Chains A and B, each alone.
Chain A
Amino acid sequence: MALQGSPTLPQQEEPPSVPSSSHRRHRSSRYQFSLDSINFNFPIPFLRHGSHAESERFAGSQRELDSDCRHVIVGDTDGSDPHLEFPGNAVRTAKYSLLTFLPRNLFEQFHRVSYIYFLAIAVLNQLPQLAVFGRGASILPLAFVLVVTAAKDAYEDWRRHRSDRIENNRPVSVQDPCTAQFCSKRWKDVRVGDVLKVSEDETIPCDMVILSTSDPSGVAYVQTINLDGESNLKIRYAKQETMSRLASDKCVIRCEEPNRNIYGFLANMEVDGKRVSLGPSNIILRGCELKNTAWVMGVAVYTANETKVMLNSSDAPSKRSRLETQMNRETLLLSAILMALCSVVSICSGIWLGNHVDGLELAQFFRKRDYSGRVDKNFNYYGIGLQVFFTFLMSAIVFQIMIPISLYISMEMVRLGQSYFMTWDSNLFDESSNSRFQCRALNINEDLGQIKYVFSDKTGTLTENKMEFRCTSIWGIDYSGGNASSEDNNELHYTVVCNDQIWKPKAPVKTDPDLVKLLRNESDTEHGRQAHEFFLALACCNTMIPQVVETSDPNERLIDYQGESPDEQALVYAAASYGFVLVERTPGHIIVDVLGEKQRFDVLGLHEFDSDRKRMSVIIRCPDNTVKLFVKGADTSMFSVAQKSMNLQVIDATKINLQAYSSLGLRTLVIGVRKLSRNEFKAWHSAYENASTALIGRGRLLRAVAIDFERNFDILGASAIEDKLQQGVPEAIESMRKAGIRVWVLTGDKQETAISIGYSCKLLTSEMTQIVINSNSRETCKKSLHDAVAMSCNLAEMSTESRLSSSVSSRVPMALIVDGSSLVYMLETELQEELYKVATICDVVLCCRVAPLQKAGIVALIKDRTDDLTLAIGDGANDVSMIQMADVGIGLSGQEGRQAVLASDFAMGQFRFLVPLLLVHGHWNYQRMAYMILYNFYRNAVFVFILFWYVLYAAYSLTTAVTEWSSVFYSIIYTALPTIVVGIFDKDLSRKTLLKYPQLYRSGQMNQRYNLKLFNITMIDTVWQSVVIFFIPCVAYAHSTIDDSSLGDLWTFVVVVLVNIHLAMDVFQWNWITHASIWGCIAATLICEIIIDSMWFLPGNWAIFNVMGTGLFWLCILGVLAAGMLPRFVMKALIQHFMPNDIQIARELEKFRNVNGVSTSISRFSQP
Chain B
Amino acid sequence: MSPKADPAPEGDAGVVERRKKSKKPKYSRFTQQELPACKPLLTPTIVISTFSLIGILFIPIGLASLSASDIVVEIVYRYDTECIPQQSQNDKLAFIQSSETDKTCLTTLTVPKNMKAPVYIYYELDNFYQNHRRYVKSRNDKQLRSKAYEQETTNCAPEATTANGSPIVPCGLIAWSLFNDTYSFAIQNKVIEVNKKNIAWPSDKNNKFGSDVYPKNFQQGALIGGAKLNESIPLSEQEDLIVWMRTAALPQFRKLYGRIETDLAANEQISVTIENNYNTYSFDGEKKLVLSTTSWIGGKNDFLGVAYLTVGSLCLFLALAFIVLYLLKPRTLGDPSYLSWNRNPDGHQ
Q: A425-B25, A1042-B249, A1115-B61 are in contact. Are A1145 and B335 (CB under 8 A)?
A: yes
The distance from the CB of B202 to the nearest CB of chain A, in whole angstroms, is 9
- Chain B residues in 8 Å Cβ range of A970: none
- Chain B residues in 8 Å Cβ range of A1165: 44-45, 48, 326
The distance from the CB of A1007 to the nearest CB of chain B, in whole angstroms, is 16
* B17-46 interface bits toward A, Cβ cutoff 8 Å, 1 = contact, 0 = none: 010011111010001110111111111111
| From A1036, A1044, A1105, contact of B136 by CB (8 A) | A1044
A356 to B281, CA, bound (A): 12
Select from chain A the residue with minimum beta-carbon distance to B314.
A1126
Asked if A247 is at the interface of the complex by the 8 Å CB criterion, the answer is: no
Residues from 1054 to 1111 in A contacting B, C-beta threshold 8 Å: 1067-1074, 1096-1099, 1101-1102, 1105-1106, 1110-1111
Cβ contact within 8 Å between A552 and B6: yes
Cβ contact within 8 Å between A1002 and B348: yes
Q: Would you mind naming 9 contact pairs between A and B with Cβ atoms under 8 Å apart?
A: A364-B128, A367-B173, A371-B223, A423-B25, A553-B3, A987-B33, A1041-B248, A1044-B247, A1069-B37
Select from chain B the residue with minimum beta-carbon distance to A1159.
B332
| From B39, B65, B340, contact of A1068 by CB (8 A) | B39
Asked if B204 is at the interface of the complex by the 8 Å CB criterion, the answer is: yes
For the complex with contacts A365-B129, A371-B221, A1074-B37, 19 further pairs of A-B residues with Cβ separation under 8 Å are A365-B134, A371-B222, A379-B157, A380-B134, A434-B23, A957-B131, A1037-B298, A1038-B303, A1043-B247, A1043-B249, A1096-B145, A1112-B298, A1112-B304, A1126-B315, A1137-B47, A1145-B334, A1164-B330, A1165-B48, A1165-B326
Select from chain B the residue with minimum beta-carbon distance to A360.
B283
A1105 to B256, CA, bound (A): 19
| From A358, A424, A435, A1122, contact of B54 by CB (8 A) | A1122
Cβ contact within 8 Å between A1111 and B33: no
Asked if B269 is at the interface of the complex by the 8 Å CB criterion, the answer is: no
Cβ contact within 8 Å between B222 and A1105: no
Asked if B287 is at the interface of the complex by the 8 Å CB criterion, the answer is: no
A1164 to B327, CA, bound (A): 10
- Chain A residues in 8 Å Cβ range of B197: none
- Chain A residues in 8 Å Cβ range of B208: 1096, 1101
Q: A434-B22, A1038-B252 are in contact. Are A1126 and B339 (CB under 8 A)?
A: no
Which residue, of A957, A1110, A1112, A1133, has the highest number of chain B Cβ atoms within 10 A? A1133
- Chain B residues in 8 Å Cβ range of A1039: 124, 252-254, 299-301
Cβ contact within 8 Å between B35 and A954: no
Q: Which of A455-463, A716-724, A1147-1155 contacts B (4 or more CB under 8 A)?
A: A1147-1155
Asked if B349 is at the interface of the complex by the 8 Å CB criterion, the answer is: yes
- Chain A residues in 8 Å Cβ range of B132: 365-366, 954-955, 957, 959
- Chain A residues in 8 Å Cβ range of B27: 426
A437 to B223, CA, bound (A): 76
Q: A425-B25, A1151-B41 are in contact. Are A1073 and B141 (CB under 8 A)?
A: no
Cβ contact within 8 Å between B251 and A359: no
A152 to B129, CA, bound (A): 47
Residues from 1134 to 1168 in A contacting B, C-beta threshold 8 Å: 1136-1138, 1140-1142, 1145-1153, 1156, 1159, 1161, 1164-1167
Cβ contact within 8 Å between B284 and A364: no
Asked if A328 is at the interface of the complex by the 8 Å CB criterion, the answer is: no
Cβ contact within 8 Å between B335 and A1156: yes
Residues from 267 to 307 in B contacting A, C-beta threshold 8 Å: 279, 282-284, 296-301, 303-304, 307
* A404-443 interface bits toward B, Cβ cutoff 8 Å, 1 = contact, 0 = none: 0000000000000000010111100101001110000000
Select from chain A the residue with minimum beta-carbon distance to B333.
A1148
Cβ contact within 8 Å between B134 and A367: yes
Asked if A166 is at the interface of the complex by the 8 Å CB criterion, the answer is: no
- Chain A residues in 8 Å Cβ range of B338: 1140, 1145
Cβ contact within 8 Å between B133 and A958: yes
Cβ contact within 8 Å between A1044 and B248: yes
A1038 to B336, CA, bound (A): 54
Cβ contact within 8 Å between A421 and B283: no
Asked if B163 is at the interface of the complex by the 8 Å CB criterion, the answer is: yes
The distance from the CB of A423 to the nearest CB of chain B, in whole angstroms, is 8
Cβ contact within 8 Å between B346 and A803: yes
Cβ contact within 8 Å between B173 and A1167: no
A1067 to B39, CA, bound (A): 8
| From B223, B296, B303, B329, contact of A1036 by CB (8 A) | B303
Cβ contact within 8 Å between A954 and B129: yes
Cβ contact within 8 Å between A1044 and B141: no
A1126 to B319, CA, bound (A): 12
| From A957, A959, A1156, A1161, contact of B334 by CB (8 A) | A1156
A367 to B137, CA, bound (A): 13
Cβ contact within 8 Å between A953 and B131: yes
Select from chain A the residue with minimum beta-carbon distance to B3.
A553
- Chain B residues in 8 Å Cβ range of A425: 25, 31-33
Which 4 A-B pairs rank lowest in CB-CB distance, beginning with the nearest?
A364-B177, A1148-B334, A1102-B203, A359-B283
Cβ contact within 8 Å between A429 and B24: yes
Cβ contact within 8 Å between B282 and A363: yes
Cβ contact within 8 Å between B221 and A959: no
Cβ contact within 8 Å between A1102 and B340: no
- Chain B residues in 8 Å Cβ range of A1146: 339
